[in-house]
Structure 1
Amino acid sequence: MSQIDETKKAFERMQNFDVSLLPRSGDLGQELSFSAAVEPAKRLIELYSRISLSALDDFPESELNGLENHANADYNHFKNIIDFKVQGTPNPDQVRDQYVKAIENRYAPSFQKLKDIISYSACRTTDFRLIEHEARGVFQKIEDKSEEVTRQLEQSKEQAESILEEIRKVAAEQGVSQQAIYFKEEHVFHDNEAKKWLKYTLIMACILAGISLLFVLASKWDWLSPKDNYEALQLIASKVFIYATLSYLLYLAGKNFLSHKHNAVLNKHRQNALMTFKAISDAGNTQECKEIILAQASYCMFNPQETGYIKVVSGDGRMKTFLESIPKTTVKIDS
């Protein structure tokens, strides 16, 4: 067997040694047990385990011989414990302590002997090309992941901008709709008031009709018949005054009813116009078209309108024509 094979065998024996064989509590008992040698033995074996056997192929034969002798010396301390017998051994307690102490003392010289070999073995067994290849793979994966994250961020940004634009549109529509609530409140108020004054008008009409009937029948009663011209004049004046008062109250109630009904219809019209303004404005393709629509809508909403309850005349009594609604522009013509 060659020197390198002998050295590998000695190292392999140390690396594969079973420390459970050292205590020997079964045949020696707890008092003479070598349990104290287990931890130092594990520490020493761990030192040998750090060496790759393939790294020994690079060492010269002279170096291998020294390494083999050192490994065999360490193993002999384990073997002494395995072969220890109580019979025929004076002071077995003292011998046990010596064997345990010897294993503890072997770590320092073994470390000095093997530290350079451990370093060389670690460098030799490390595949730097593989590490570099794996590192490149990791970097590439990180780069791919960063590009994917960047794309996702760009997509999220586009989605966010789209959502923001939709929110702005909704906010604009809500802003217009929110302004329409004022016209709605006015419509509800005037509509309720119109219902009240309609009731008052009907009541006044009934009262006037009842008084008229009463005056017709009053001429049949003798105690109300005038005795002379003076009493007749007083009766006529009283009837005229009562008729005038009741007629004026009826006219006032009817006028208030018509005014409130007119305002209710007008504010309902303005509410509908403002609610539909956004859709009509969006239909304009150019800014000029939108300005025309805005002018017409404003004129339609805020100028007096005919409702059928009150006749309204505004200015010349006509709507602006299309040509009048076109924004004024300055056109330069080269002369």
Structure 2
Amino acid sequence: MLRINRENLRNSHETPWLILDLVMLGILFVNLTWLIFDALYATDFVYGLLGTYFPAFLNAYDPIHANFLLVDLVFIAIFFTEFCFRWAVAIVRKEHLRWYFFPFLHWYDIIGLIPTGPTRLFRFLRIFSILHRLHKFEIIDLNQTAVFRFFAFYYDVFVEELSDRIVVKVLSDAQKDISAGSPLLDDINAQVLAPRRPVITQWMAGVINHLGQSIQSEEHGEVIREHVRKSVGKAVRSNAQVSSLHYLPVIGKTIENTLEESVTDIVTTSLVNLLSDLDAERIDHFISVGIHDYTPTADALDKEVLNVVNECLELVKAHVAQQRWKSHLTEKESAIPTGKPEI
């Protein structure tokens, strides 16, 4: 049920406007009722019915029907006066950015002033404009009305179905362009990655330097150092010249172990120095010169990236195509007590 919040009405200082709106609604109701009656009066059925049962009324109303445009002009004059008054108040209050915005925002009032059959229907929109204004000032709460919830739900259904189809169509066209050889990857590289290469190289340098410091750390680098030690030891032991040292009596095994430890330390220190000293300028030079012409697997990589993009778009399409309003309706119906159906 529609209720008026009197406290908000007092705080909004909209009471005079509410009274004016109610008066104009009454006049609008009389005008629209009269329009409907006059339209029915012009039909043979109603005219004959009135002539049979109310001949006196027929004789009295005939001159009014013949000059009904003049009667409607009286209502139009009232509506036009009220429109100009509201326009003047809007200018004084500076409700809009420009003074001439008011008639454009209330175009339906202007069209409703035209005394023709179709345009008179726009006078109905005044009812919705009044309700919207009262709802904006929280004098009434349309969200609590069953009619509003009904139309809001099916409006959301319409918008969701329409927007989902548009989004799926756009994504499908994008997939076709990509599959047809659209230079997407080249555009990404030239317009997205290239301008950000200094930032990317700086980040890569920071990561590599941090990795070198971690290897050097006694606490965090033990795993890498142990891996290097095992790899070097395996390489040293598999070397024919080094392996022949253990044939030397007494000192052969010692020389082999000393050589293995020395090479391990040299490799570890070299790796730490390499990672710690590498800066963004060297990485940028390496990218632009060292791997600029590397193309053996470029085609395979491009295809794989396009497949990834295509699969991501398919997932987006599947998510967008889900009719969430159906699940919302199901939850809504399951929450309704048995025997109390709701629209």
For Structure 1 versus Structure 2, the TM-score category normalised by the shorter chain is under 0.3
Identify which of structures 1 and 2 has the higher relative contact order when contacts are C-alpha pairs closer than 8 Å and 6+ apart: 2
TM-score (norm 1): 0.26
TM-score (norm 2): 0.26
Larger Rg: 1
